[in-house]
């Protein structure tokens, strides 16, 4: 059985964009992460050790952009998915990134889903 931990619209500031000018300053992005896991162990003992610590995931993502830049949000989304799978051992993860660069849209974004290898 799979359950889902939802981190919705974590506000981060990363340097991302194709033109150099766009990457010159960090810009606001909203990152959502959906971690599929089995809550059975956590529920049985009401113990954080049996699940994924969503606070730790958020802290890791908040610091991810320090000293880094990406040209594509697609690359960033896959990197976040890979990081969550490797560091937090989620069996499956979906990552969505929203970017606010085109004034005529509410946002542009990407969504990737990756299973643990």
Catalytic residue set? 99
CA angle in degrees (0–180, nearest 5) for 90-91-96: 65
Cβ pair 64, 56 in contact under 8 A: no
| β-strand partners of 35 | 5, 93
């Amino acid at each position: 059985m799979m359950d889902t931990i939802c981190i919705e619209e974590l506000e981060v500031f990363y340097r991302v964009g194709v033109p150099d000018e766009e990457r010159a300053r960090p810009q606001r992005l909203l990152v959502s992460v959906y971690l599929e896991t089995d809550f059975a162990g956590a529920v049985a003992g009401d113990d954080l050790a049996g699940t994924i610590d969503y606070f730790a995931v958020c802290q890791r993502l908040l610091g991810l952009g320090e000293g880094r830049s990406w040209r594509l949000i697609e690359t960033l989304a896959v990197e976040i998915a890979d990081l969550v799978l490797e560091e937090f051992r989620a069996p499956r993860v979906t990552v969505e990134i929203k970017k606010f660069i085109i004034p005529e849209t509410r946002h542009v974004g990407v969504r990737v889903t990756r299973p643990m290898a």
